[in-house]
Structure 1
Amino acid sequence: MPQDSRSIYGGQAVIEGVMFAGKHVNVTAVRRKNDEIVFYEVPRTSKLWVQRLKKIPLLRGVVGIVESSAKGSQHLNFSMEAYAEDEAGEQKEGSNAEQATGAKEEKKSSGWSLSMLVGVAVAGVLSFIFGKLIFTAAPAAIEELLFAGVFDNKVGHNLLEGLIKIILLLAYLYFISMTPIIKRLFQYHGAEHKVISAYEAGEELTVKNVQKYSRLHYRCGSSFIVFTVIVGVIVYSLPFFTWDTIWERIYIRILLLPLVLGISYEVLRWTNALRETPVLRFLGFPGLWLQLLTTKEPQDDQVAVSIASFSRMRELDQQMNRS
């Protein structure tokens, strides 16, 4: 095992690439249309008060989410710009070729304009913040409107609300996973998990070795989403939080959202720490099941990009450790 094998690394899939967050630097590797792998490297810097908050249980989860969303947007934008440049280049080459040959057939495009790509990037950056608000309010409103008189106690209503959340989440993930660009994004998500798992197992990071590992990982953001649903049902069922109207119900859930996120983050850390413990390891299974939708089996060239990103991040981290 490497000397620093206990280091915990995370990352995210981007368009045609993977970003890994190291101790000192975040690195994204993206494969261009010409098969060249390009890198985007950003030093990790946090203000002292942010570093202190990230050491406090409950608070560290919320702070980490906000920070990762802000910094992740840089890497997502980098990958989107590279993708847009490649698409624009292909269209230009195709247009020139058609003019030279006098071809009458209309050139087929990928269907992704620059404005659409920017829309995907913005959605990726802001989806967690705004998505959680909608994902919190909408199921509560649906349950209140459709099933107001079904149960005499709020626990039953909260359980039904949680079920509605799960159904909406699964439906959303299923339908977006059918689009080609999201399918490839989910493949890179799987490649990211495989590289981290291989590293944590002490394997040499080759494509053949990495492909042996599962595309599922306990410490994934997909698992975190599942835990927010489960934790939400428990927190909303506490006797301190009651409501008389639909607006009070929605207001309470939005008000408690930071608490739910903070607890869910701690649960995620706990289940990851217990993943090798008999019986208790099953606590992380709901999150792993959701990853069956949010990850896909990657191709060898996608795994190679993930390895390149991780290796470059580790190389820069070690250089900074020595300096």
Structure 2
Amino acid sequence: MPQEPRNIYGGQAVIEGVMFAGKHVNVTAVRRKNDEIEFYEVPRSSKRWVTGLKKIPLVRGVVGIVESSAKGSQHLNFSMEAYAEDETAEEGKADEPKKAEPEKKGFSLGMIVSVAVAGVLSFIFGKLIFTAVPAAIEDLLFAKAFSSQVGHNLLEGLIKIILLLVYLYFISLTPIIKRLFQYHGAEHKVISAYEAGEKLTVENVQKYSRLHYRCGSSFIVFTVIVGVVVYSMPIFEWETIWERIYLRILLLPAVLGLSYEVLRLTNSVREVPVLRFLGYPGLWLQLLTTKEPNDEQVKVSIASFKRMLELDRQAAAGVNLSANEPKAI
């Protein structure tokens, strides 16, 4: 039998599960407390003008980020609601049921904040902060350290990397983020096994690395590196700290667009021995943003991916996919 074409798929980890984005549908699978795997399926639909923009180099990166963040949040919210329901059900067995609802809300809000910032997927607010704060710190502490602005830009980039690494390290110590990062690793393993043409079994998938060249974590690193290059262009020199921050924010779409193209490039040359090292900075960051998954987490990831493939085939065959209510197996 001829081998199925290897399409390019992406995904993201959610609370106790994984979301995969297909050509026609996005599917999330989460494991509930009773060990059932529950699915959440949302057909993909984009306006024609959005689809057109996603074909334009430099522009497509920014459009893709906005679109994936919006759709990813929908699936993340589903997973958090499922998790909160399970937690509330356990709390309902306690002697003081009236306390369950306030505790649930507080816990869910904490998860929303932690997960959004941990994945650096709150791009509008998070990226602005990540852009402005390092520039302000560098200017405050090292304003007279260099005569060239290139030196200031390099130091600013170093501060960004340090802040990012410190933050990711400490949040990775919390149980819920650690499990999220394990599902992140499971997502990568499944995609790698699929791209290698492997049959998707737990044993086969576990053989693959939890790191992947196309990961959003790699994209974060490239925004720092590309940012240093763009900010160092002579036409973007600044006189005051406010002008410096203003330029950073103004140039943010250009930096994001260029970084996306660099990410695509590193993925396309990852099999070339001399050039594969270009993607190493992103892989190194993934040592923090992914953890080795256990077999049960890999099962959830495989279930999500297989369901996505099944629905994609149905859509390609002309079956009308409508948004489905969550279903369990």
Shorter-chain TM band: over 0.9
- Within the candidate set 264, 289, 301, 1:306 is matched to 301
> What is residue 2 of structure 1 aligned with on the other side?
3
> What is residue 86 of structure 1 aligned with on the other side?
86
Q: Say which SS state the counterpart of residue 234 (structure 2) adopts.
A: coil
Q: Say which SS state the counterpart of residue 30 (structure 1) adopts.
A: strand
Which 4+ residue blocks in structure 1 deviate beyond 4 angstroms? none
What code does the residue aligned with 1:235 have? V
Map residues 13-28 of structure 1 onto 2, 5 A cutoff. Answer: 13-28=13-28
> What is residue 239 of structure 1 aligned with on the other side?
234
Residue 2 of structure 1: how far off its partner (Å): 3.4
Which string of whole-angstrom CA distances, capped at 9 and with x for unpartnered residues, describes residues 276-311 of structure 1?
A: 001100000000000000000001000000000000
What code does the residue aligned with 1:195 have? V
> What is residue 40 of structure 1 aligned with on the other side?
40
CA distance 1:207–1:112, change in 2 (3 Å): farther
> What is residue 102 of structure 1 aligned with on the other side?
none
Map residues 289-304 of structure 1 onto 2, 5 A cutoff. Answer: 289-304=284-299
Residue 127 of structure 1: how far off its partner (Å): 2.2
Q: Say which SS state the counterpart of residue 235 (structure 2) adopts.
A: coil
What code does the residue aligned with 1:136 have? T
Map residues 222-261 of structure 1 onto 2, 5 A cutoff. Answer: 222-261=217-256
> What is residue 29 of structure 1 aligned with on the other side?
29
User: For residues 244 and 103 of structure 2, what CA distance do their matches in structure 1 show?
Assistant: 40
> What is residue 199 of structure 1 aligned with on the other side?
194
> What is residue 61 of structure 1 aligned with on the other side?
61
Unaligned runs of 5+ in 2: 319-329
Map residues 42-191 of structure 1 onto 2, 5 A cutoff. Answer: 42-95=42-95, 113-121=104-112, 124=116, 127-191=122-186
Unaligned runs of 5+ in 1: 99-108
Q: Say which SS state the counterpart of residue 29 (structure 1) adopts.
A: strand
Once structures 1 and 2 are overlaid, which stretch shifts more, 243-252 or 122-131?
122-131
CA contact (8 A) 1:228 1:261 kept: yes
> What is residue 104 of structure 1 aligned with on the other side?
none
User: For residues 94 and 18 of structure 1, what CA distance do their matches in structure 2 show?
Assistant: 31
CA contact (8 A) 1:13 1:185 kept: yes
Q: Say which SS state the counterpart of residue 129 (structure 1) adopts.
A: helix
Q: Say which SS state the counterpart of residue 113 (structure 1) adopts.
A: helix
Task: Please report the RMSD computed on the Cα atoms of aligned residues, expressed in angstroms.
Answer: 1.8
Q: Say which SS state the counterpart of residue 223 (structure 1) adopts.
A: helix
> What is residue 282 of structure 1 aligned with on the other side?
277
CA contact (8 A) 2:69 2:122 kept: no
TM-score, structure 1 as length reference: 0.93
Among the aligned pairs, what percent are the same residue? 78
